Amino acid sequence: MTQPAPDRRTTELATVFVDLRTALGRVLIGKDDAATGLTLALLAEQHAYLEGPPGCGKSELAADLAALSGARTHTLVFHRDIRESDLLGDVLLSRHRHRGHERLRRELIPGPLLQAEVALLEDLPRSPGEALGPLLRILAERHALGQPLPLESAVATGPLEQVEAPIDPLEPGQLDRFAVQLRLTGLLTGGLFDEAAVLLEREAARESSRAGVRAAAGSGHAPAAANAAPRAAVMNTTTRNAAQRAAAALRVEPRTIDAYHRLLDRLRQRSADESASGDRLMSDRSFSSAALRLVRAHAFLRGAPAAAPRDLGAIRYMVAHRLPEEVQEDFDHILEELLGDPPNVTMTETGAQMPGAQSQGDDSDGAAAASSASDSWIDDQADLPAPPTLFGKPPPPAQVDPLLRALVGRIERGRIDPDTDPGGQPRGYRPLRDLDEVIDADVIEALLFTEGRLPGAPRTFERKRRSAGGAVAVLRDISASMAGRLTVWSSQVVLGILRVAARRRMRVGYVEFHHRALPHQVGGRLLHRSYSRLAEQAGQAKAVGQTNYEAPLRTALEGLRGGSGRNRHIVLLTDGLPIIGDTSVRRERQLARRLGVALHTVFLGNGDCPPVLDDISLETGGLRFCGRPLAGGGLRLEER
Amino acid sequence: MSDLTPLHDLLDHHVVGHDEVKTALLLALITREHIYVEGPPGTAKTRLAEVAARGSDLDFFFYQLHRDTRLAELVGDIVLERRKVQTDGAAPGTAGEAERIHQRIEPGGLLTAEIAVLDDISRAPGEALNVLLRILNERRFGAEPIPLMAAIATGNPMDDEYYNEPLDPANLDRFALQLRVSGLIQSGVDEAKTLIDRFAAGSVVEQPDPAPVTDRATLDALNQRMYEVEVGAAVRAALLDVLRTLVLEFECNETNSLLTDRTFLVKAIKILRGAALLAGRDTVDLPDLAALSWMTTFRVPPEAHEALPRIIGRVSRQIQAV
């Protein structure tokens, strides 16, 4: 940390990265924020996670970063059956004769991933947790097989967390390895029709310039194909590494550190306000070293001699999975407030013009030009569309968490352990039982086995699949007394349950009730897997009529009756005493017991919980919850 | 008409009805996009795919997917390579011979075919398909481009009674063209009568595998010509308006639809060009927009898909009026 002001060399290095940023921005229309985030990640030598809906250009952006950076790259497409040797490298099996017996040793030869400077990890969440473990450790430690890795940045892509996707999302702890987290939106679904028109025009102008190069014709996203040639690198490894070193050594102004402390306080506070589970993931790892590297990189890119408070804007590229969504959306606002004035009021130039602007200046002007041009790094974000949320509505606030957690516990308890299934995920090893399984066997052991050197059978993957069975029906009181806050709240409970069910591919049913039961059927069935459609309906409920427990319970139980198996649940959401129908629902309780259906009851409101709800839950082994409205809004949820 | 008339005739000769599927199959061959045909058992899905594939004289790969489908069955054989190496003996007592073992795939199946029929794709576990569908999408395996022109996949409806898991929506997106077929007899169309008459005449029972009626050169030339088809500003504006309507009026979003940029801003242009070419024109006209409904089948909610012809009609009238 010796250099106070940027010299010519530093400015040149910054320019190279600005060029990278500009070129990346041209790759995809309307993805400037992602281009900036990736540039910062590479400059700060941090890993990045890109998520977005299919076909929005994630993979292409990542591939272009790799190509433009001139780094040695390895691409790994993750899938269910990925093996250790795909991640690490080939096996070296050595045999040494040693006093009349043979000693076998097994080593790994570092594979291409371990030699890569930029690693592209496509569809990362598709791989089973077992394979991810070693990989993520390597990413964190940048060390494998006893050697330091040349790895600078790993860029992973993954789908948007979506209810109907059959894969489990990465856990926050796994995602934390990726300091930069970016969410892309589609132009169409993001409503960016002007940008869409530009893309259409580009496509319409496309001619088959590559007769015979069929491979490229259908590949990827259009803009890359528009300039069909692979992107030429804008830098080499020496430049890149020099820039990375220079950026890492940049001084951070004391007022920046002070502002950062205050920013963290604010983020922590806001996250705690928004969510009972508090900060989602503000780990020390990310918010100390990685964050400050990004802040420095941001300053470096501006051509600034030291990291100023405004460079804290770089933190916005870290928050996608670390803060509650409300806080993410508000990030720019929070930062602005903290810094006093909006940081980008006098922005005129764009980053793309920077090299030109700079070439006119002498030494000191060069730096000035760089810093004026770089205001756009912050401005890029001004019109960032709100990140997409589940079902297009805000996620359930924390108040429903206790209920969902308890319910998930019950559902998991009721689920059968993963079944052995040849199409399932590898979940450990077991001895080979059948020659068919040799395809899944450990390569080395199979080899030794065939040579008669292995005492016993080789190990093979034990594949298991979670049974997709089970069903949950939500019965929701929409009688007149549920109007207002309770309606909103119970919508959120329903959405939460749908999400829980969708992840486990349980069938769901949804019955609204007042004096009558109003089942929402799809294709004539109460129980189905059209989660999104139910989610839409759950958001539209209106409160009318009086309360009847019998009708909805009967409807739901009839729906569950046809199926079989364990793990069937009914969740009854209500705020009142039943007035119509059999108020003690004797027959339904009996039927539920016979079918082995757990009836969970949730009573909402300040009044006394009707004893019949307790009876229902106790008899069928269901959960009992009650939600008390709080004076200042919100609801306190506790077990009865 | 177009150079593909003989192939269309061949399809007519072998399968009664299903005109939309036939046209869409030809479109897939011209535009080199993949196609997914869904329908109940016994609706000639596989037959159509097979006739189209064999009739075009291309290297052909047929695979019946099943619950335990593994990647290796689709892409070739897994080969273990063993190479003797000498170890340096850095650690005491380790000098001597060693073996380096490397697992690789000897390309076959999908990697060497020009046209692939993936039957019952919905039976394979959604997740196992990921790599397969990525190959389809990128048309390369590792760093190597593959010669595949089009994949034709069939599947059963995703209802509970067929015991298959729904395809991952992202996976379905790999198939630019998506159609739903229903049985002729079940839907009571006129062709049902023709079908029965034909079997009554006994001419269908022993049909040999069709001989090729078109070839690679013809398809290559058509693909070249496709890129010369002009897509005017009016058509582009209409396409965008249709998409805008889907997003704004029908509330298609990331959770209920697959209105991806890749498909509807990039591939749609190709499909429109192909449709114009099939109709024997070198400019895309507004009526060609009808081909969009072969792209929306499983990508937007059913009500939006059903409304598509109406939306296209309305948008076309507005554009013409301007």
Q: Using an 8 Å CB-CB cutoff, list chain A residues near B99.
A: 92-95
Contact B96 A166 (CB under 8 A): no
By Cβ distance, the residue of B131, B236, B261 closest to A188 is B261
Boundary of a domain, candidates A151, A176, A205: A205
- Residue B66 · residue B120 · CB < 8 Å: yes
**A466 pLDDT more than 80:** no
B256 touching chain A per CB within 8 A: yes
Pairing of strands B60-64, B115-119: parallel
List of chain A residues whose C-beta atoms are within 8 Å of the C-beta of residue B226: 208
| Residues 29-58 (A) with a CB less than 8 A from some CB of B | 53-57
Q: Between chains, do A208 and B78 touch, taking CB under 8 Å as contact?
A: no
Task: Please name the residue that has the structure tokens 């990685």.
Answer: A290
Q: What is the pLDDT of residues A276-323, one digit of tens each?
A: 554 467 788 888 889 999 999 999 999 888 999 999 999 999 988 888
Residue A497 touches chain B, beta carbons under 8 Å: no
Q: A195-251: per-residue pLDDT in tens?
A: 899 889 988 887 754 433 333 333 333 333 333 445 788 899 999 999 999 999 999
Residue A154 pLDDT more than 80? yes
- Give the gyration radius of chain A's Cα atoms: 29
pLDDT at B55 over 80: yes
Distance from CA of B247 to the nearest CA of A (A): 7
Overall domain count for chain A: 3
| Residues A479, A536 within the same domain | yes
Question: Hey, is the C-beta of B205 within 8 angstroms of any chain A C-beta?
Answer: no
Q: What is the pLDDT of residue B312?
A: 95
| Cβ contacts of B288 within 8 Å, gap of 6 or more | B235, B272, B275, B276, B279
CB A74 within 8 A of CB A86: no
Lowest-confidence pick of A367-376, B87-96, B127-136, B306-315:
A367-376
* Rounded CA separation A240/A42 (Å): 9
Report the pLDDT averaged over residues A596-622: 85
Alpha helices in A340-452 (DSSP H): 354-360, 363-373, 375-379, 401-414, 443-450
Q: How confident is the model at residue A388 (pLDDT cuts 50, 70, 90)?
A: very low
**B6/chain A closest Cα distance in angstroms:** 24
Q: Taking a C-beta distance cutoff of 8 angstroms, is the pair A423, B125 a contact?
A: yes
CB of A557 closer than 8 Å to CB of A526: no
Where is A120: in which H helix or E strand? strand A118-122
pLDDT at A92 over 90: no
Q: How confident is the model at residue A166 (pLDDT cuts 50, 70, 90)?
A: low
pLDDT at A359: 37
The whole-number pLDDT of residue A228 equals: 41
Helices (H), chain B: 5-14, 19-31, 45-55, 71-75, 129-138, 169-172, 184-187, 191-201, 216-226, 233-248, 261, 268-278, 302-321
* Angstrom distance (rounded) from CA B227 to CA A474: 53
pLDDT at A571 over 60: yes
Q: Strand A597-604 to strand A568-574: parallel, antiparallel, or no bridges (unpaired)?
A: parallel
CB within 8 Å: A166 and B126: yes
Residue B243: Cβ-neighbour burial (10 angstroms; 0-12, 13-18, 19+):
buried
Residue in the block written with tokens 């060399």: A9
Chain B nearest C-alpha distance from A422 (Å): 6
Write out chain B residues lying below 8 Å of A94, CB-based.
87, 94, 96-99
pLDDT at residue A217 in the model: 37
Q: Which of A191, A217, A390 sits opposite B247 (nearest CB)?
A: A191
Per-residue pLDDT, A415: 55
The per-residue pLDDT for A70 is 92
CA distances from A492 to A398, A508, A613, B253 (A): 10, 16, 21, 19
Sorting pLDDT into bands at 50, 70 and 90, what band is A354? very low
Pseudo-torsion of CA B132, B136, B141, B146, nearest 10°?
140
Regarding whether A534 and A428 lie in a shared domain, the answer is: no
CB contact under 8 A, B130 and A218: no
pLDDT level of residue A486 (50, 70, 90 thresholds): confident
Top-ranked range on mean pLDDT: pick from A23-27, A64-68, A100-104, A173-177: A64-68
Nearest-CA distance A63 → chain B (Å): 13
- The verdict on a CB contact (< 8 Å) between B231 and A204 is yes
In this structure, the number of other CB atoms found within 10 A of the CB of residue B5 comes to: 14
Question: For B119-139, b where at least 16 C-beta lie within 10 A, e where not — what string?
Answer: bbbbbbbbbbbbbbbbbbbbb
Q: Touching check for B92 and chain A: CB below 8 Å? A: no
Counted residue by residue, chain A has a size of: 640
- B261 closest CB neighbour out of A55, A166, A523: A55
Considering only the beta carbons, identify the residue of B32, B33, B93 that sits closest to A98. B93
Percent of the residues in chain B that have a pLDDT greater than 70, as a whole number: 87
Lowest mean pLDDT among A125-129, B180-184, B300-304: A125-129
* Longest Cα separation, chain A: 90
Residues in chain B: 322
Within a domain: A621: yes
- Interacting residues of A455 by C-beta distance below 8 A, sequence separation 6+: none
Tell me which of B229 and A466 has the higher pLDDT: B229
Facing residue for B97 by CB, picked from A95, A215, A391: A95
pLDDT at A461: 80
Contact A601, A637 (CB under 8 A): no
> For residue B37, which of B184, B182, B179 has the smallest C-alpha distance?
B179
Which of B254, B292, B315, B319 to substitute to test the interface with A, most A CBs within 10 Å? B254
Q: CB distance from A264 to chain B under 8 Å?
A: no
Contacts of B292 (CB under 8 A, 6+ apart): B239, B242, B268, B271, B272, B308, B312
A360's CB contacts (< 8 A; 6+ apart) are: A369
Query: B264 — contact with chain A (CB < 8 Å)?
Result: yes
CA distance A562 to A526: 11
Q: Output the domain CATH number for residue A481.
A: 3.40.50.410
Give residue limits of the domains in chain B.
1-68+110-214, 73-107, 227-322
What is the maximal distance between C-alpha atoms in chain B?
A: 88
Asked if the Cβ–Cβ distance from B169 to A164 is below 8 Å, we say: yes
Report pLDDT for B185: 74
Q: pLDDT tens digits, residue range A102-137?
A: 777 777 788 888 899 999 998 888 776 666 777 888
Residue B30 pLDDT level (bands cut at 50, 70, 90): very high
Least confident of A210-214, A517-521, B290-294: A210-214
Choice among A34-43, A383-392, A518-527, B65-74 with the minimum mean pLDDT: A383-392
Query: What mean pLDDT value characterizes chain A?
Result: 76
Which pLDDT score is estimated for A390?
A: 37
pLDDT of residue A467: 58
At residue B254, the pLDDT reads 76
Choose the weakest-confidence range: A37-41, A233-237, A362-366, A513-517.
A362-366
Least confident piece of the model among A442-451, B48-57, B241-250 = A442-451
CA distance A32 to A182: 11
Q: Which CATH class is domain B227-322?
A: mainly alpha
Mean pLDDT across A180-191: 89
Alpha carbon of residue A417 to chain centroid: 26
**CA–CA separation, B245 and B268 (whole Å):** 16
Q: What is the pLDDT of residue A221?
A: 37
Residues 6 or more apart in contact with residue A6 via CB below 8 angstroms: A14, A303, A304, A305, A367, A370
> Does residue A490 sit within a domain?
yes
Across B7-18, average pLDDT: 86
Contact A187 B239 (CB under 8 A): no
Whether A417 shows a pLDDT value over 80: the answer reads: no
Distance CA B270, CA A595 (A): 54
Low-confidence winner among A140-144, A185-189, A414-418, A530-534 (lowest mean pLDDT): A414-418
- Residue A26 and residue A139 in one domain: yes
Cα B229 to chain centroid, rounded: 22
A95 touches chain B (CB under 8 A): yes
Lowest mean pLDDT among A251-255, A527-531, B89-93, B131-135: B89-93
Beta strands in A380-539 (DSSP E): 419-431, 459-465, 471-477, 507-513, 517-519
Interface of A with B in 519-548 (CB under 8 A): 523, 525, 528-529, 532-533, 535-536
For A442, the token pair is 């450990």
The reply to whether B227-322 shares the fold of B1-68+110-214 is: no
Phi and psi at residue B147, to the nearest 5° = -80, 5
Q: Say yes or no: A586 and A454 in one domain.
A: no
Answer yes or no: do A454 and A530 share one domain.
no
Residue A5 has pLDDT above 80, yes or no: no
Answer yes or no: are the C-beta atoms of A503 and A496 closer than 8 Å: no
Pair A566, A438 in one domain: no
Is the Cβ of B239 closer than 8 Å to some Cβ of chain A?
A: yes
Give the pair of three-digit tokens for residue A488: 């909103």
Q: Does B242 touch chain A (CB under 8 A)?
A: no
Could you write out the three-class secondary structure of A326-359? HHHHCHHHHHHHHHCCCCCCCCCCCHHHHHHHHH
Please answer yes or no on whether A206 and B269 come within 8 Å at the CB atom. Answer: yes
Cβ pair A123:B130 closer than 8 A: yes
pLDDT of residue A380: 38
Is the pLDDT at A358 greater than 50? The verdict is no
B263 touches chain A (CB under 8 A): yes
Number of H helices, E strands in chain B: 13, 9
Asked whether residue A217 is domain-assigned, the answer is: no
The answer to whether the beta carbons of residues A538 and A494 sit under 8 Å apart is: yes
A295 lies in a domain? no
Structure confidence at residue B170 (pLDDT): 65
Question: pLDDT digits over B91-114, tens only?
Answer: 555 566 777 877 778 888 888 999
Q: Which residues of chain B from 32 to 61 reach within 8 Å of chain A, CB to CB?
A: 32-33
Contact B249, A186 (CB under 8 A): no
Chain B residue numbers with beta carbons less than 8 Å from the beta carbon of A98 are 93
Dihedral (Cα; A127, A129, A135, A137), 10-degree rounding = 160
B window 94-133, beta carbon within 8 A of A: 94-103, 124-128, 130-131
What share of chain B has pLDDT > 90, as a percent? 30
Q: Is the dihedral of CA A585, A588, A594, A597 positive or negative?
A: negative
Beta bridge partners of A76: A121
| A356 occurs within a structural domain | no
Residue A425 shares a structural domain with residue A563: no
Q: Does residue A290 belong to any structural domain of this protein?
A: no
pLDDT confidence bin for A69, thresholds 50/70/90: very high
Residue with tokens 């990465």: A170
Instruction: Give the pLDDT confidence score for residue A346 in this predicted structure.
Output: 36
Q: Are residues A460 and A472 in the same domain?
A: no
Residue B126 is encoded by which pair of tokens? Answer: 């959604």
pLDDT above 90: residue A158 = no
Q: What is the distance in angstroms between the CA of the first residue and the CA of the last residue of chain A?
A: 60
Among candidate residues A205, A221, A239, the one where a domain is terminated:
A205
The Cα–Cα gap between B174 and A563 comes to 34
Specify the 3-state DSSP secondary structure of A220. Answer: coil
* Domain ranges, residue A455: 418-465
Given a cut of 90, whether residue A547 has pLDDT beyond it is no
Q: What is the pLDDT of residue A124?
A: 86
Query: A195 and A57 share a domain?
Result: yes
| A94 assigned to some structural domain | no
**Token pair 């689709």 in the structure block, residue:** B74
For B78, phi and psi rounded to 5 degrees? Answer: -85, 125
Measured between beta carbons, the chain A residues lying within 8 angstroms of B301 are 533
One domain for residues A598 and A611:
yes
Residues 6+ apart with CB under 8 A from A528: A507, A508, A509, A521, A522, B160
What's chain B's Rg over C-alpha atoms?
23
CATH architecture for the domain at B1-68+110-214? 3-Layer(aba) Sandwich (3.40)
Does residue A393 form part of some domain?
A: no
| Burial state string for A521-548 with b = 16 or more CB within 10 A and e = fewer than 16 | ebeebbbbbbbbbbbbbbbebebebbbb
The answer to whether residues A459 and A472 belong to one domain is no
| Structural domain ending residue among the three candidates A143, A172, A205 | A205
pLDDT (0 to 100) of residue B288: 94
Q: In this structure, what DSSP letter does residue A522 have? A: B
Tell whether A59 and A157 lie within a shared domain: yes
Quote the minimal CA–CA distance from A119 to chain B in Å. Answer: 14
The reply to whether B80 touches chain A by the CB within 8 Å rule is yes
| Chain centre distance of CA A113 | 23
| Contacts across the A-B interface (CB distance below 8 Å) | 223
